[in-house]
Amino acid sequence: MSEQTTVLIVDDDDDIRELLRTYLAGFSIQAQCVRDGAAMREAMAGARFDVIVLDLMLPGEDGLSLCRRLREATDIPVIILTARGEAADRVVGLELGADDYVMKPFDPRELVARIHTILRRTRDGGRRELGGADEWRFEGWAINRVSRQLLTPQNMVVPLSNAEFRLLSVFIERPRRVLTRDHLMDAVRGQSATPVDRSIDILVSRLRQKLGDDPRDPRLLKTVRGEGYLFDARVTR
């Protein structure tokens, strides 16, 4: 990637921290590594990071709590590291606003691919996703591609995670068309969904909540059984 990438690794395993620091350097990714939440906050006070890689099992404050705090305070993309048996924690992490996850044990090449995918979308994805329009409107709502903000009909800002912004952008580009989960997963995470991957369902649920869309009878984000989702709105620029 042409821009210098800086990543903060938060993991209490010394071997993993050193492995990732060395491996990422081979891809021109500068990694600062810390072992817990207190050290993470100290590092963030003194430097800017493009991505945070956050282990869920940490001493003291756990990764889920840190993810919640990060999403309340910043829009820096977060990739969570989870053990293969922690399916519930992966779901909660995504619900709290994490952008992606990698399961332990993992190949460092997978993490590099995840970082590159997220940064391609956050650095220039908005220009591709929303064309030349700075603001798109639907049902009284507005989304600004420059500020990456969602505005209610009352002109109140609704914060979006990077993954939520990307997913809503995909729907806005293709209103009133059925989009499969595989298509949405490819657009949001850069890979195809597996039959047990609930990431898109979780993101849709989060978007419904932020749009005030009743999950039992949604008006905007409708489930098409056996196929995927449909964004039922007229979109204007």
User: According to the model, what pLDDT value does residue 15 have?
Assistant: 93
Q: How confident is the model at residue 160 (pLDDT cuts 50, 70, 90)?
A: confident
pLDDT, mean over the chain:
84
Token output for 39: 């050290």
105: preceding bond cis by omega (within 30 degrees): yes
User: According to the model, what pLDDT value does residue 128 have?
Assistant: 39
Listed by start position, the domains of the chain span: 5-125, 130-236
Encoded amino acid at 157, one letter: V
Mean predicted confidence (pLDDT) in 227-237: 91
How far, in Å, CA of 47 to CA of 176, rounded? Answer: 43
**130-236: which CATH topology?**
Arc Repressor Mutant, subunit A (1.10.10)
User: According to the model, what pLDDT value does residue 127 have?
Assistant: 40
pLDDT, tens only, 63-80: 999 998 898 888 889 999
User: According to the model, what pLDDT value does residue 93 have?
Assistant: 81
The secondary element (H helix, E strand) that includes residue 29 is strand 29-34
More confident residue, 45 or 127: 45
Mean predicted confidence (pLDDT) in 194-212: 79
Q: Alpha-carbon Rg of the chain, whole angstroms?
A: 18
Mean predicted confidence (pLDDT) in 44-52: 93
CA distances from 120 to 37, 77, 83, 154, 236 (A): 27, 12, 26, 32, 26
The yes/no answer on whether domain 5-125 falls in CATH 3.40.470.10 is no
221 forms bridges with which residues in the sheet? 231
CA distances from 14 to 29, 160, 171, 217 (A): 19, 33, 42, 49
Backbone angles phi, psi at 148, to 5 degrees: 60, 40
User: According to the model, what pLDDT value does residue 196 have?
Assistant: 45
Q: What is the DSSP string of 117-186?
A: HHHHHHHHHHHHHTTT-SEEEETTEEEETTTTEEE-TT--EE---HHHHHHHHHHHHSTTSEEEHHHHHH
CA distances from 193 to 115, 154, 189, 224 (A): 18, 36, 9, 17
Residue 192 predicted with pLDDT over 60: no
How far, in Å, CA of 39 to CA of 44, rounded? Answer: 9
Residue 50 predicted with pLDDT over 80: yes
User: According to the model, what pLDDT value does residue 104 have?
Assistant: 87
The secondary element (H helix, E strand) that includes residue 199 is helix 199-211
